[in-house]
Amino acid sequence: MQQDHENDLPAYKRIQNVILKRMESGGLRAGDAIDSERQLAKVHQVSLMTARHALAGLEREGVVVRRRGAGTFVAPPKIHFNKLMSFTEQMAVRNLPARSKILSCTVTEEESEVAARLALPPGSRLIRLERLREGAGEPFALETCYLSEAEFPRLRHAPLERGSLFSILESEYGLELAQSDEEIDATNADARTAQLLAIGKGQPLLRIRQVIYSAKGRATVYVRGFYRSDRHNLLIRRFR
């Protein structure tokens, strides 16, 4: 007997899922003890190394803390540092209602610099989507994102007003987003941006230019955003 039985997941992942589900459902709270390796091995009918593998994976992801001699415990609620999240998700964390107004959605062939950042030849046809982001009824940010039209042909006619772009990419195109590299600086609002964001001209803005990569390492989306610095705060964690 070996490997999976009921479905095609490896045993260690099944164990992880059981634990994760118990945490989501509230059965396990921060600080609570998780079943020990030996208990898990017995309950799930696997060897000790497999139970260990499951817990080690959860520890690497930060959802669990292991203390020798003591046990394995649910990690304290993690603040989402350096997490790539859609605007919708960011607002959800803050418990704010999110809305997006689509200002334009066109195809351009003349943004060669953006094309280069997406590793596409100059002159490539790019979907250019400009959106005004609102949280709690207040304008929050002005975001322009670019994607290859060849790669996402139907996207222009998708219900972009409703769901987030991230979720459409993930569900409709099976795209798995993995990471983003971002370039951050400060600028002053020009007249149009100021008007859209309902602030005075010359007010300071955070400018974030990000290249979002898929799990396969492909540069997939380019986003340039201007964020009201009185409404938005970037939180970053760095390591030595």
Partner DNA sequence: AAGTGGTCTAGACCACGGC
Partner DNA sequence: CCGTGGTCTAGACCACTTC
* Contact residues for its own copies, defined by CB under 8 A: 49, 60, 81-84, 177-188, 202-206, 229, 232-240
If DSSP codes are grouped into helix, strand and coil, which group holds residue 136? coil
**Minimum CB–partner distance for residue 44 and DNA (Å):** 8
**Minimum CB–partner distance for residue 184 and its own copies (Å):** 4
Nearer residue to its own copies within complex by CB, 1 or 235: 235
What single-letter amino acid sits at 156? R
Applying CB under 7 A, the residues found at the interface with DNA are 1-4, 10-13, 34, 36-39, 45-50, 52-53, 55-56, 66-72
N- to C-terminal Cα distance for the chain?
46
- Residue 72 to residue 35: CA distance in whole angstroms: 7
**Minimum CB–partner distance for residue 81 and its own copies (Å):** 7
**Minimum CB–partner distance for residue 159 and its own copies (Å):** 23
187 binds, among its own copies, DNA, none (CB under 5 to 8 A by kind): its own copies
Nearer residue to DNA within complex by CB, 72 or 164: 72
Nearer residue to DNA within complex by CB, 39 or 82: 39
Residues 6+ apart with CB under 8 A from 25: none
- Residue 99 to residue 164: CA distance in whole angstroms: 10
- Residue 8 to residue 190: CA distance in whole angstroms: 55
* CA nearest neighbour of 106 among 138, 139, 72, 149: 149
Nearer residue to DNA within complex by CB, 37 or 111: 37
